[in-house]
């Protein structure tokens, strides 16, 4: 049994994320397609995540924000590497 | 056997007499005084082992030469408990005991009252010839009345029992109910079907509650060694699951962008202008629309008017009253029920726990309207109703109730009205008035106009004929959306236009009213119990706030049940049990012509429960782990107040000092090499609760302190002017109370109060002001410096 990879979640899971964070991850993933459809394919994954986290007008759910932060950190780590 | 001495006045005990049992003391008084204007109140002193337990009040009345002794229960006098010992599950053996023996949570005074009431009833009921049940006519009333007699007399007592069936305390109705009970009609008999259904509900709810709650608590105890009160139940489980599902939808929600063209008209800047398509999903087409209309004026192409008749509403039943009370006054469903019950006991309205939308066929509307018309505020409307109605034929709805009519005012005005009771009474009376009204006529207008071929519209409406709305108080108010006079072909000058990006929204959170509606739509619980169930989930800290959100432990309990025993939260199972209740009430078996008895229902219920408990037992380890995690998260959330105002990085958290044991607020970064040492003092007594509101004086976070008579708001800033003022006021009040003029005897001399100190009680320490105390505490805390995280 693993722990959910989201910081401070600590829930047991057999996958990468616990059930609720997995649901959020799926919503974020499918949401990206819809955002690109609405705003154009210029929108990058990183910009999309930043808007989900930081834009006050975007009322992203708390669990979805956890996953967006996790994904954004991954993007930053890759850049740093 | 315990020895009781029951001192009943001799004139009460002289035989023969009928024993009447009412639901509450206030109901006993009203019934006695309504049935006999010369009703006499008497007292029964109940003593146990030489100590007076309580003085029970009763009423002696004479009606048609029948002497009736009326005592009242205190709601339920008996409750179910486990028959046997051990704190395990499954438990299927149970028995009825007086509630004073079941729980040590009740205070001793109330326990004594229950015990005394039971013994007084036992004494008087056993010497009676006949019995009369005078409780509210519903499932609970039937259980209270019949169970009290079977427990304290014997099962045969029900054969000598008649029943008063009434829907209001109005004099005429009570007297009619008495005549019916004394006739040989079956309408004057106890409703055994309803009684059995009530018993079934009690048995199954007890079995569900005790077993499932123990399964949750034991899984935590066996996993972590910790104890925490957890509960779920037959209706509680599915109700919590509605809110938890919605909460999860909101928490995992990812909003999607969409676009709107906003136009401001020069002459009518407050009118909302809508594009024909509403929102536009993509930026490119939205930009095209925007660039084509920018700087241009509109042209009215068409004005469409529609008239619509709006029929008067049906009279209130409990759920529509609760819904409106929340909608117009933000009164929670449980408070609405409480207020309606107070009005019912005051004889001002009919019985509120009803699903009917129909008036009783013999209701004297003329008399009721005339009486209500005597009250200031209603006079003009009643006059208007009489003028406009040659015959008083009110509108009724479709829903019915086998026991009671809709909620309506009676011909008796309430004695005292204030607060919630006043608002609820006004809603009921105005709804009653509205049912005599004619249709209201509303005209809706849509003005279609174009700006460079792009289609837009304005929407408005106005009341052409007020009809019933004129008599319906707050319910008749409509939002002002009337459009100005416009003509086809007219130009609409545009002062500004803008392309706005907005985002889709998740489904709204439940509030108490919408959750109640959801329960009703899913046939969960009964009209009488729904609001209490919502309140009990809130009291259990599974949900909080308004709109309602589920706490971490609430989410976990729901998840545990969803994963390991989904039947517990299944709406279908709850409905099936309700259907079983219908069969018990009717005494019919669906599959054969035989009788479906109460024991059949219990056996079927236990079979379902047994399967669920087996599922839970085999997953105890995982359940314990999840619950433990949920409790930890909840505890953390309760302690964290907000982001630190000094470092803007850590969180301000309620911490207890390891060295002094005192609590204070500190930054979490203190534990990271003391990167931030921001602290705030806290009062050491009282429960602390987080609030969303910031202090009005300085914007610092506030905590609500529960302790003393009233909870009070504490600003974290020790130098806050409001806080200083508050502490100063306390000091002043203390000083003033010391200065108060001495009490005087009748002859004008001063009453001397001898100040004595109880033996063994320590002398008070010299008083230090609260402000000084707080400063001392903060200094001590800073000096000692050793703090630990309160996990």
| pLDDT above 70 for B655 | yes
Higher pLDDT, B254 or A81: B254
pLDDT at residue number B570: 92
To the nearest 10 degrees (0 to 180), the angle between helices B620-639 and B192-224 is 80
**Cβ of residue A63 closer than 8 Å to a chain B Cβ:** yes
C-alpha distance from B446 to closest chain A C-alpha (Å): 30
Q: Measuring CA to CA, how many Å separate B200 from each of B265, B591, B611?
A: 65, 20, 19
- The pair phi, psi for residue B378, each rounded to 5°, is -105, -15
pLDDT tier for residue B151 given thresholds of 50, 70 and 90: very high
CB B2 within 8 A of CB B116: no
pLDDT in tens, B413-468: 888 888 999 999 999 999 999 999 999 999 999 999 999 888 999 989 888 899 99
Matching CATH number, B199-252+514-630, of 3.40.50.150, 1.10.460.10, 1.20.1070.10, 3.90.650.10: 1.10.460.10
By C-alpha distance, the chain A residue nearest B245 is: A20
pLDDT at residue number B646: 87
| pLDDT above 90 for B483 | no
User: What ranges in B565-639 are assigned the alpha helix state H?
Assistant: 571-586, 598-618, 620-639
pLDDT tier for residue B675 given thresholds of 50, 70 and 90: confident
Rounded Cα distance, B702 and B724, in Å: 14
E-assigned strands of chain A?
2-3, 12-13
* B112-151: b (≥16 Cβ within 10 Å) or e: bbbbbbbbbbbbbbeebeebbbbbbbbbbbbbbbbbbbbb
Topology of domain B257-311+441-503 in CATH is Topoisomerase I; domain 3 (2.70.20)
pLDDT at residue number B775: 53
Active site residue B351: yes
pLDDT in tens, B327-352: 999 999 999 999 999 999 888 999 99
pLDDT at residue number B781: 42
Which residues touch B511 (CB under 8 Å, ≥6 apart)? Answer: B326, B546, B547, B548
- The pair phi, psi for residue B170, each rounded to 5°, is -60, 140
Rounded Cα distance, B64 and B593, in Å: 43
pLDDT in tens, B556-599: 899 999 999 999 999 999 888 888 998 898 876 656 566 778 88
| pLDDT above 80 for B754 | no
pLDDT > 90 in chain B, percent: 51
Rounded Cα distance, B404 and B194, in Å: 13
pLDDT in tens, B489-505: 999 899 888 999 999 99
Rounded Cα distance, B405 and B165, in Å: 12
Q: Give the closest residue to B373 by CA, choosing from B418, B409, B427, B424.
A: B409
Is B253 in contact with A58 (Cβ distance < 8 A)?
Answer: no
C-alpha distance from B502 to closest chain A C-alpha (Å): 7
Q: Give the closest residue to B61 by CA, choosing from B29, B30, B36.
A: B36
C-alpha distance from A60 to closest chain B C-alpha (Å): 5
Is B254 in contact with A12 (Cβ distance < 8 A)?
Answer: no
Q: Give the closest residue to B343 by CA, choosing from B421, B407, B402, B406.
A: B421
pLDDT tier for residue B478 given thresholds of 50, 70 and 90: confident
Residue B245: strand, helix, or coil: helix
Q: Which CATH architecture has domain B318-437?
A: Orthogonal Bundle (1.10)
Catalytic residue among B351, B359, B564, B670: B351
pLDDT in tens, B76-131: 999 999 999 889 999 999 999 999 888 666 688 888 999 999 999 999 999 999 99
CB B18 within 8 A of CB B129: yes
pLDDT in tens, B541-556: 899 888 898 988 899 8
Which residues touch B34 (CB under 8 Å, ≥6 apart)? Answer: B169, B171, B174, B175, B347
pLDDT at residue number B707: 73
pLDDT tier for residue B760 given thresholds of 50, 70 and 90: very low
What secondary structure, in 3-state letters, does B354-408 show?
Answer: CCCCCCCCCCCHHHHHHHHHCCCCCHHHHHHHHHHCCCCCCCCCCCCCCCCCCEC
**Cβ of residue A64 closer than 8 Å to a chain B Cβ:** yes
| pLDDT above 50 for B785 | no
Residue A15: strand, helix, or coil: coil
Q: Give the closest residue to B118 by CA, choosing from B150, B86, B77.
A: B77
Rounded Cα distance, B174 and B177, in Å: 5
What is the number of CB-based contacts under 8 A between chain A and chain B?
A: 67
Reading the block at residue A23, the tokens are: 């649901």
pLDDT at residue number B791: 31
pLDDT tier for residue A47 given thresholds of 50, 70 and 90: very high
Reading the block at residue B450, the tokens are: 């174009």
Find the angle CA(B714)-CA(B717)-CA(B720) to the nearest 5 degrees.
Answer: 85
By C-alpha distance, the chain A residue nearest B250 is: A61
pLDDT at residue number B268: 87
CB B534 within 8 A of CB B333: yes
- Mean pLDDT within B686-703: 81
pLDDT > 70 in chain B, percent: 91
Q: Where are the domains of chain A?
A: 2-80
CB B677 within 8 A of CB B667: yes
Topology of domain B4-190 in CATH is Rossmann fold (3.40.50)
Reading the block at residue B688, the tokens are: 């602390």
Is A20 in contact with B252 (Cβ distance < 8 A)?
Answer: yes
Rounded Cα distance, B414 and B425, in Å: 9
DSSP string covering B15-29:
SS-EEEEESSHHHHH
- Mean pLDDT within B193-218: 94
End-to-end CA distance of chain A: 30
> What is the C-alpha radius of gyration for chain A, rounded to an integer number of angstroms?
13
pLDDT tier for residue B759 given thresholds of 50, 70 and 90: very low
C-alpha distance from B256 to closest chain A C-alpha (Å): 6
- Mean pLDDT within B289-297: 90
Which residues touch B532 (CB under 8 Å, ≥6 apart)? Answer: B334, B337
Sign of the C-alpha dihedral, residues B557, B563, B566, B570? positive
**Cβ of residue A52 closer than 8 Å to a chain B Cβ:** yes
Tokens 């304005």 -> residue:
B458
pLDDT at residue number A80: 64
Rounded Cα distance, B205 and B235, in Å: 9
Which of B506, B626, B629 comes nearest A61 by C-beta?
Answer: B506
Residues of chain A contacting B251 with CB distance shorter than 8 Å = 20, 24, 61-64
Residues of chain B contacting A47 with CB distance shorter than 8 Å = none
Reading the block at residue B377, the tokens are: 């505020």
CB B652 within 8 A of CB B667: yes
Report the 10 Å Cβ neighbour count for B278: 8
Rounded Cα distance, B582 and B461, in Å: 46
Residues of chain B contacting A10 with CB distance shorter than 8 Å = 629
Q: Give the closest residue to B711 by CA, choosing from B736, B686, B737, B694.
A: B686
Tokens 């008497």 -> residue:
B42
pLDDT at residue number B745: 56
Rounded Cα distance, B421 and B770, in Å: 39
Tokens 């009724």 -> residue:
B396
Find the angle CA(B468)-CA(B332)-CA(B527) to the nearest 5 degrees.
Answer: 80
pLDDT at residue number B110: 86
- Average pLDDT of chain B, as a whole number: 87
| pLDDT above 50 for B4 | yes
pLDDT in tens, B390-427: 888 999 999 988 788 999 999 888 888 889 999 999 99
- Mean pLDDT within B35-54: 93
pLDDT at residue number B96: 95
- Per mean pLDDT, which of B227-231, B245-249, B632-636 is the most reliable? B245-249
pLDDT at residue number B416: 83
Residues of chain A contacting B284 with CB distance shorter than 8 Å = 40
The conformational region for residue A10 under phi > 0 = left, psi -120 to 50 = alpha, else beta, is left
Report the 10 Å Cβ neighbour count for B342: 20
Q: Where are the domains of chain B?
A: 4-190, 199-252+514-630, 257-311+441-503, 318-437, 644-737+766-784
Q: Give percent helix, percent strand, percent coil of chain A, each to the nearest 5.
A: 60, 5, 35
Residue B716: strand, helix, or coil: coil
CB B688 within 8 A of CB B682: yes
Rounded Cα distance, B601 and B524, in Å: 18
Instruction: Choose, out of B245, B250, B252, B287, the residue to mutate when testing the contact with A (most A CBs < 10 Å).
Output: B252
pLDDT at residue number B780: 44
Reading the block at residue B495, the tokens are: 């002062």
- Mean pLDDT within B157-168: 92
Higher pLDDT, B480 or B679: B679
Which residues touch B277 (CB under 8 Å, ≥6 apart)? Answer: none
Report the 10 Å Cβ neighbour count for B111: 18
**Cβ of residue A66 closer than 8 Å to a chain B Cβ:** no
Q: How far is CA B491 from the centre of its chain?
A: 54
């Amino acid at each position: 049994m693993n722990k959910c990879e989201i910081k401070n979640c600590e829930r047991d899971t057999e996958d990468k994320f616990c059930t609720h964070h997995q649901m959020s991850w799926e919503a974020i993933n499918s949401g990206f397609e819809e955002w690109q459809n609405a705003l154009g394919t210029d929108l990058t994954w990183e910009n999309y995540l930043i808007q989900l986290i930081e834009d006050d007008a975007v009322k992203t759910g708390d669990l979805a924000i956890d996953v967006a932060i996790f994904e954004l950190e991954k993007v930053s780590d890759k850049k740093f590497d | 056997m315990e020895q009781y001495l029951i001192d009943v006045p001799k004139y009460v005990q002289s035989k023969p007499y009928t024993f009447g049992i009412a639901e509450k003391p206030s109901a006993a008084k009203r019934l006695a005084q309504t049935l006999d204007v010369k009703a006499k109140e008497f007292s029964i002193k109940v003593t146990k082992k030489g100590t007076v337990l309580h003085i029970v009040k009763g009423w002696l009345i004479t009606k048609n030469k029948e002497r009736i002794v009326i005592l009242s229960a205190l709601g339920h006098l008996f409750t179910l408990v486990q028959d046997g010992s051990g704190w395990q599950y499954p438990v299927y053996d149970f028995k009825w005991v007086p509630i004073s023996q079941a729980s040590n949570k009740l205070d001793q005074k109330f326990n004594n009252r229950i015990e005394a009431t039971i013994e007084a009833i036992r004494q008087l009921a056993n010497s009676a010839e006949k019995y009369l049940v005078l409780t509210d006519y519903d499932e609970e009333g039937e259980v209270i009345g019949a169970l009290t007699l079977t427990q304290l007399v014997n099962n045969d007592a029900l054969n000598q029992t008649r029943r008063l069936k009434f829907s209001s305390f109005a004099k005429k109705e009570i007297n009619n109910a008495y005549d019916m009970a004394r006739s040989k009609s079956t309408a004057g008999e106890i409703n055994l079907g309803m009684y059995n259904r009530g018993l079934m509900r009690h048995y199954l709810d007890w079995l569900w509650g005790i077993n499932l709650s123990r399964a949750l608590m034991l899984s935590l105890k066996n996993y972590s060694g910790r104890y925490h009160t957890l509960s779920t139940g037959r209706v509680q489980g599915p109700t919590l699951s509605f809110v938890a599902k919605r909460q999860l939808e909101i928490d995992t929600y990812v909003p999607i962008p969409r676009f709107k063209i906003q136009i401001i008209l020069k002459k009518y800047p407050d009118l909302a202008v809508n594009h024909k398509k509403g929102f536009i999903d993509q930026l490119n087409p939205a930009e095209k629309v925007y660039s084509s209309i920018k700087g241009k004026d509109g042209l009215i192409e068409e004005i469409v008017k529609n008239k619509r008749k709006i029929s008067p509403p049906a009279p209130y039943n409990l759920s529509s009253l609760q819904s409106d009370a929340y909608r117009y006054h933000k009164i929670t469903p449980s408070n609405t029920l409480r207020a309606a019950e107070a009005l019912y006991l005051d004889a001002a309205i009919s019985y509120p726990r009803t699903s009917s939308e129909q008036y009783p066929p013999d209701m004297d509307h003329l008399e009721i309207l005339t009486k209500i018309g005597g009250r200031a505020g209603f006079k003009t409307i009643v006059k208007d109703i009489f003028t406009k109605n040659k015959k008083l034929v009110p509108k009724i709805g479709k829903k019915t109730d086998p026991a009671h009519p809709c909620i309506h005012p009676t011909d008796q005005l309430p004695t005292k009205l204030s607060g919630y009771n006043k608002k609820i009474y006004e809603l009921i009376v105005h709804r009653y008035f509205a049912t005599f009204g004619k249709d209201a006529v509303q005209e809706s207008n849509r003005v279609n106009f174009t700006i460079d071929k792009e289609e837009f519209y304005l929407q408005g409406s106005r009341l052409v004929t007020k009809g019933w709305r004129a008599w319906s108080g707050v319910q008749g108010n409509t939002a002002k959306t009337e459009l100005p006079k416009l003509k086809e072909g007219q130009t609409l000058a545009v002062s500004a236009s803008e392309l706005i990006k907005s985002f889709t929204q998740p489904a709204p959170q439940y509030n108490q009213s919408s959750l109640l509606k959801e329960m009703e739509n899913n046939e969960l619980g009964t009209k009488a119990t729904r609001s209490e169930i919502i309140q009990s989930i809130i009291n259990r800290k599974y949900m909080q706030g308004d709109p309602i959100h589920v706490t971490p432990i609430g989410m976990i309990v729901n998840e545990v049940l969803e994963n390991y025993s989904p039947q517990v939260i299944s709406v279908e199972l709850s409905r099936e049990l309700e259907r079983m209740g219908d069969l018990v009430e009717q005494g019919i078996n669906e599959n054969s012509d035989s009788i479906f008895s109460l024991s059949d229902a219990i056996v079927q219920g236990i079979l379902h429960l047994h399967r669920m408990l087996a599922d839970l037992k085999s997953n105890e380890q995982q359940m314990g782990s999840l619950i433990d995690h949920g409790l930890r998260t909840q505890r953390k959330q309760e302690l964290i107040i907000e982001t630190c105002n000094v470092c803007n990085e850590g969180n301000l958290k309620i911490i207890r000092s390891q060295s002094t044991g005192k609590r204070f607020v500190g930054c979490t970064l203190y534990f990271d090499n003391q990167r931030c040492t921001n602290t705030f003092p806290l009062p050491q007594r009282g429960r602390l609760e987080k609030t969303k509101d910031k202090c009005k004086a300085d914007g610092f976070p506030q905590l609500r302190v529960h302790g003393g008579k009233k909870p009070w708001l504490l600003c974290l800033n020790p130098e806050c002017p409001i806080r200083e003022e508050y502490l100063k006021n306390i000091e002043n009040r203390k000083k003033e109370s010391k200065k108060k003029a001495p009490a005087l005897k009748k002859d004008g001399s001063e009453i001397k109060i001898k100040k004595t100190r109880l033996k063994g009680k320590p002398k008070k320490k010299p008083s230090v002001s609260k402000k000084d105390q707080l400063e001392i505490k903060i200094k001590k805390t800073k000096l000692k410096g050793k703090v630990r995280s309160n996990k």
